[in-house]
Amino acid sequence: MSDRSATAISCSNIAFIKYWGNRDNVCRIPATGSISMNLGSLTTHTTVTFDAALTRDHLTLNGNPSSSQALQRVSDFLALIRKRTGQFLFAQVSSENNFPMGTGIASSASAFAALSLAASTAAGLTLEEVELSRLARRGSGSACRSIPAGFVEWRAGHNDDDSYAVSIAPPDHWNLIDCVAIVSQEHKSTGSSDGHPLAESSPLQQTRVQQTPQHLEICREAILQRDFDAFAKVTELDCNLMHAVMMTSNPALLYWQPATLSIIHAVRAWRQFGLPVCYTIDAGPNVHVIGLQKDQDQITKRLADIPGVQKIICSSPGGAAHRADG
Ligand code: DP6
């Protein structure tokens, strides 16, 4: 492995059935399966170069040398690849997001999906999609869902071998749009990695885990049948259940801001009056409003009128992680 380089691009994703809590926090074996859609407008572009002249790993994020915490996480991930190949070169990693940093939009999914493909390729490995998804999971759980295309299901599995994501429908299967309403650009107080281990402390997590197979089934079918009503109902239920777990864990996590709640009320009212929309929220205050592409202008206009909405970023279903250099 001498001076090998590769570049990859990957989309972020939004989960409709959520991942919250792990059976194994080290390998990121989740307590439940999850279902997501890749976000075609939110991508990370990453180049990895293994270089015999380096004495440690280096990371630049959007052109700036990165903090020690982010570098450590990337370095730990690269160590998995070094162990696998038996070749112990350090790497220069350069990663750029096409979406503004600090908007509170999660970037670990697209970041670790792109890093998995770029680093494994640069290290001389040619991994099948399932293997790449398993590898990406070790960097960030949700990243395993950014490897396959379009609408994706992460099969929880029980161990490192059988926990990975697969595509359940290609991007052009359903003309959905995700309009993310940004209500806060602050860094979240408790990141997902610190949040997952708290899930078990909620009295509601066991119930959530028991109900998820049913939610996965309903959501998968709703996507396959393009049944928006069924999809909206299960997506909001699953989101509310995850936030109920967060709010009742010890310590309790409350990610919502007043504007988050205003959007929830608005989306429910719009749907009642006939506009096919629903909401879902990750570990932060921003709201993903899911609707049909033909209604994008109407959705963004309505969101822009809600006090507290600072910015709206819309994405259609995105493709698989892919190489950008060959
Ligand atoms: C609320 O994948 O960011 O967005 O595995 O620790 O990197 P780590 O966590 P992460 O968790 C995502 C949590 C979520 C729900 C989801 O995307 O399914």
Same domain (yes/no): 122, 73 = yes
Q: Could you give the angle at the alpha carbon of 235 between the alpha carbons of 233 and 236, nearest 5°?
A: 70
Indicate whether 111 and 215 sit together in one domain. no
CATH number at residue 13: 3.30.230.10
| Cβ atoms of 133 and 149 closer than 8 Å | no
83 and 224 inside one domain: no
Is the pLDDT assigned to residue 2 strictly greater than 50? no
- Quote the pTM value: 0.97
Q: What pLDDT, on the 0 to 100 scale, is given for residue 3?
A: 55
Please tell me the predicted confidence (pLDDT) of residue 104.
65
The answer to whether residue 305 sits within a structural domain is yes
CB-based contacts of 267: which residues, under 8 Å, 6+ apart?
Answer: 277, 278, 279, 287, 289
Label residue 190 by pLDDT band (50, 70, 90).
Answer: confident
Q: Please, what's the b/e burial string for 188-203 (b: 16 or more CB within 10 A of its CB; e: otherwise)?
A: bebebeebbebbbebe
Task: Tell me what the pLDDT averaged over the chain comes to.
Answer: 95
Contact 62, 196 (CB under 8 A): no
- Which of 153, 172, 191 corresponds to the end of one domain? 172
What CATH code is carried by the domain that includes residue 182?
A: 3.30.70.890
52 residue type, one letter = A
Q: 89 and 38, same structural domain?
A: yes
Domain that holds residue 216: 175-315
Please tell me whether residues 228 and 287 are part of one structural domain: yes
Most ligand 1 atoms within 8 A of CB, residue of 282, 288, 290 to mutate:
282
Q: Are strands 34-51 and 90-97 parallel, antiparallel or unpaired?
A: antiparallel
Q: What is the DSSP string of 18-37?
A: ----EEETTTTEESS-EEEE
Domain boundary among 139, 157, 172: 172
Residues 191 and 109 in one domain: no
Give, for ligand 1, the residue of 16, 19, 187 to mutate: max count of ligand atoms closer than 8 Å to Cβ: 19
Let me know if residue 281 belongs to a domain: yes
